[in-house]
Chains A and B, each alone.
Chain A
Amino acid sequence: MSMDLVQIETDSSRSDETNIPQWGMAIDLDRCSGCEACVIACHAENNIPLSDETAASEGRTNHWLRIDRYYEGEFPDIKVKFRPVMCQQCDDAPCEPVCPVYATYQNEEGLNVQVYNRCVGTRYCANNCPYTVRFFNWYDPVWPEDLNLQLNPDVSVRPGGVMEKCTFCVQRIQRGKREASADGNDIADGDIQPACVQSCPAEAMVFGDLTDKNSKVSQWSQSGRSEQLLDELGTKPRVFYLEKGD
């Protein structure tokens, strides 16, 4: 691993010529009902450690994907805004430059990657993430038998002392690429879906290649309703939120 890893030019338009996909996600908040099917899908897919009441009371429950909720107005004219928030896979990610061991970096497909066996658990990255989507494993994970039988063999189980976060289901991306390659096909839009996107009953989430102008994620991200979370911080997130309203 070299310093080059953290010096990669991270403008998502750079790959137009190289044909390397640039992954992104868009979420239509007008469709989202806050049902949290995506949260369970994420746990089922990614071997996220089980917590208990003690861990919860210490603020040590891991949810790579959470649903933020904010009430606006006063009763009876009150509304609530739900927003699924996961790692925003920032192009200028504040978590990356503070890692002393280069355990987190942006790969050539735009994913903000966490290398578990590099991580030494300084937690600087979590401190520097404005979205609070990074989670530290305070304990070694435990799955009482037979719950361990459900673990997804495509995803490594992280030990205590290691930082983790949403990967955009990188294992599904790798699988999609392998399958397309085996069939001699290009990856079609929608072929690769992170678990959260796949499960969403209201079809509020789409995932795909931002450099493919015909992909749903490209089209949604160009919508007049599209915004990025805390975009004023200049982090260049790859998750786009389509706000409610006409």
Chain B
Amino acid sequence: MDRRNFFKLVGTASGGAITGACGKQGQELIPLLVSQEAIVPGTESWHPSVCGHCSAGCGTILRVMEAEREIEVQGEKVRERIAAVKKIEGNPLDPVSGGRLCGRGQAAVQGLYHPDRVRGPLRNNSGQKGNFEEVTWTTALEEVAEALSEAIQRDPASVVYLAEPGTGTRAVVVKRFLEAIGANSATTIGLGDFAVERQAAQMLYGSASLPGYEIQNATNVFSIGADFLGGWISPVLYARRFGHFRRGRSGIRGQLIHAESRFSQTAWSADRWLPVAPGGEHALALGIGYLLTQGGLKKNNTVAKVHDFFSAVDFPRAVKESGLNESQLKIAAEHLATAEVPLVVSGASIVQPNSVDAVLTASSLNVLLGNIGEVGGVCIDAGIDTFEDARPHFANLDQRLKNAEVVILDRVNPIHNFPGTNALLEGKIVISFASVLDESAHRANFVLPDHDNLETSAVVVPAVSGHSAINGSRAFVKPLHDTRATEEVLIELATKLDRKIMDYSSVTAFKDFFKAHNFADSDTTEEEFVSLAERSGGSWKESKVETSKSYPSFLPDLGSVKNTGLRNKYPYQFQVYPSIQFGFGSDSHLPWLQQLPDPTSSSMWGFPLEVDPVLAKRLHVVNGDAVRVTSSSGSIEAVIYVHPAAIPNVVSMAAGQGHAEYGRYASGKGGNPFELLDDSCEEKTGVPALGATFVVIEKLDRHHGLLQFTNNDREILHERM
């Protein structure tokens, strides 16, 4: 579906009808649910929705057609006609996806139809993990309300709500629920909220909204630590911008240098990759800043205090700590200094203890280059306060869990991502809203299964869009199972606890957006606005926020060199990175993604441990050999992949596998790299450091085998006649 055709559908839908396949009249565009009578066999209809699989918040459209499903009615199996989602594509009107969509977003349809979905509420009073019995919603809600009531009477703070970061209608309802029962705000523990980048933005620009990088209009981009084409903030948006940057302008081919401690998706797409030492990103940014101040800048409107800071950098030390050599830094500095439109993209795809310092310093290079708010520079997105939710509180997670009596898990799996929480959940009443039983839900006392994203209405704010934007729409496919929207469950629980909270629907969200952005000044009425937003799948208004440009006078200098003292026992630095298939593990249950060959190693159904060729030789291992990886915190078995581009003595593993429980497609697939991470955290945010653990690797006496779709790493060149 392209923009022109979708726009035609939206535009002609004001009468409630759209043109379907073969010129036939299709169904109404926005019925709340497509009723059985409204299904036209062989005819497709397209409905707007929003992807909830990462923080990007891409607007999507869903192809819906008739399907038949076997169900049991009074003991008899009968066929039911339903409106089924056949395909998910990007919404062509949405400025984030622009009609395109990543693999994870497209595979979301398998979440809806997953064979291992929880089909109704479950209770476990047996004391044995996973020993569930089916109960009715009435029973489940009464018992959960009773447990909550007892906990609240003793101490409302003993109710701990763990959630993924939320900036949408759901977050508002969660917030209202927790306020109503007097509990603390939700502890958001999703790793994909980019707390490091938000903290750096707060310090530099005075706003925790994630800045947008106008890569598409830059000529020379230097990215430090931000795998913007991979598992970073908004991969579809940045891939679209990258395509334009490369070949979308006549006579201009954008040049990209990328610095990261791993040969990531952005690294391999770059013209040059700088293999910066893990944790050396801050030093690299300082070194580049120093060179820029020494070599003369094209623009003279740079901020004096930032200029002064960089010109005083201890350059030799910066070079040394970056793990690179002077000539590599000079190439990068020249790349920026000579550019028509230079841009530095900074992030922490692999969080290190000093990542906020690194991102803040690298972002300050843009101040030095004078491109904040400029075309091809940094755009400070207009956040929408209405939906702002509590941001990650990693730092006090352990303490809160220790004091908890009831723990509510909302789309998070702490036992997988933070294995240490397993012990902390002992003795607590755990309530999960999981759709598929993961490790944490398996441990729960009650499972109150949520609708799938595609069965519920939602409005979210995209992490980055370049617009004031909200994406979303109402639900339109009938829930397959006896599930309930978590918002609905929270409202009912509040009622049972004699608290009254209001729902926050997508319609209300659109109305609030209408008011917040002064659309009332135009000829459009609120009703027309909401109607169009629902048909279009969102609303988007171009806007930029003027920054105060009162940049901090102090930027973090290199701290003292830390000696972990672990190097003798654990000689190799270990990194976990978000995979393009599963992110941090929430999509591992989807079979399309499991069988998708990993772009690095071509492995399927499991992620290997990536080691460099020299280390592999020293360990006497080849592809497929089994090894034991041990850190001061844990130990896992892994399969070796000898990565031609791995940094010597830095070993990496993608996140997402190693689930003990997560449905038939994800359970028992390799080791969980999170079990190896020690308690290192990013110093200013408390976000777990993904790249600061040291390990030892021991070869095991067997060849486990590496399942690869193609096992040639190098092109085989045949001599031809």
* Chief secondary structure at chain A's binding surface: mixed
Q: Is B526 an interface residue (CB 8 A)?
A: no
Report chain A residues within 8 Å CB of B182: none
Decide if A3 is an interface residue (CB 8 Å cutoff): no
Q: Is the CB of B84 within 8 A of A36?
A: no
Among listed B109-117, B184-192, B651-659, interface-contacting one: B109-117
Q: Is the CB of B595 within 8 A of A50?
A: yes
Against B, the Cβ 8 Å flags (1 = close, 0 = not) of A34-53 are 11110111011100001111
Inter-chain contacts of A36 with B (CB < 8 A): 103, 580, 596-597, 599
| Assembled-state Cα–Cα distance A204/B591 (Å) | 26
Q: B268 contacts which of A30, A51, A82, A153 (Cβ < 8 Å)?
A: A82
Set of chain B residues within 8 Å of A149, measured between Cβ atoms: 67, 69, 82, 84-85, 113
- Please name the residue on chain B nearest to A40 by beta carbon: B103
Within 8 A of A (CB), among B73-95: 82, 84-90
Most buried by B among A57, A148, A201: A201
Which of B10-18, B302-310, B409-417, B712-720 contacts its partner? B712-720
The answer to whether A31 touches B243 (Cβ under 8 A) is: yes
Bitwise interface map of B from 235 to 249 toward A, beta carbon under 8 Å scored 1, else 0: 110011011101110
A147, CB-defined interface residue at 8 Å:
yes
Min Cβ gap B618→A in Å is: 15
| Chain B, residue nearest A188 (CB) | B4
List residues 586-629 of chain B with CB under 8 A from any CB of chain A: 591-593, 595-597, 599-600, 602, 604-605, 612-613
Query: A203 contacts which chain B residues (CB < 8 A)?
Result: 100, 240, 243-244, 248
**Set of chain A residues within 8 Å of B102, measured between Cβ atoms:** 35, 37, 201
Verify if B178 is at the interface (C-beta below 8 Å from A).
no
Taken together as a complex, chains A and B put the C-alpha atoms of A50 and B90 apart, in Å, by 24
The answer to whether B86 touches A63 (Cβ under 8 A) is no
B22, B42, B70, B243: which contacts A201 (Cβ < 8 A)?
B243
* A63 to B664 CA separation, bound complex (whole angstroms): 21
Q: A58 to B339, alpha carbons, bound, how many Å? A: 51
- The answer to whether the Cβ of A74 comes within 8 Å of any Cβ in the partner chain is yes
Q: Given A51-B595, A56-B604, do A70 and B646 touch, yes or no (CB 8 Å)?
A: no
Asked if A56 and B605 make an inter-chain contact with CB atoms under 8 angstroms apart, the answer reads yes
Determine which of A68, A183, A201, A246 lies in contact with B253 in the assembled complex, contact meaning CB atoms within 8 Å.
Answer: A246
Is A145 interfacial (CB-CB < 8 Å)?
yes
Q: For window 195-239 of chain A, which residues contact chain B by CB distance below 8 Å?
A: 195, 198-204, 232
* Chain B residues, Cβ within 8 Å of A66: 597, 709-710
- Decide if B23 is an interface residue (CB 8 Å cutoff): yes
Identify which of A74, A183, A191, A201 contacts B100 (C-beta below 8 A). A201
Indicate which residue in A52, A75, A202 contacts B243 across the interface (CB closer than 8 Å): A202
Inside 8 A of B709's CB, which chain A residues have their CB? Answer: 56, 61, 63, 66
Q: Is the CB of B2 within 8 A of A35?
A: no
**A and B contact pairs by CB, cutoff 8 A, 14 listed:** A31-B242, A31-B247, A33-B239, A33-B269, A35-B239, A56-B604, A56-B605, A68-B710, A75-B646, A79-B273, A146-B69, A149-B113, A183-B23, A198-B1
Given A75-B645, A179-B23, 11 new contacts (CB under 8 A): A36-B580, A37-B100, A50-B591, A78-B263, A82-B599, A148-B113, A149-B113, A150-B87, A152-B86, A201-B97, A201-B240
Instruction: Give the 10 A-B residue pairs with the shortest CB-CB distance, closest first.
Output: A202-B243, A201-B239, A40-B103, A182-B23, A144-B115, A146-B113, A201-B100, A70-B715, A71-B644, A31-B243
B residues in contact (CB < 8 Å) with A: 1-2, 21-23, 42, 65-67, 69-70, 82, 84-90, 97, 99-103, 106-107, 109-110, 112-115, 229-230, 235-236, 239-240, 242-244, 246-248, 253, 263, 265-266, 268-269, 273, 275, 480, 580, 591-593, 595-597, 599-600, 602, 604-605, 612-613, 644-648, 664, 705, 707, 709-710, 712-715, 720
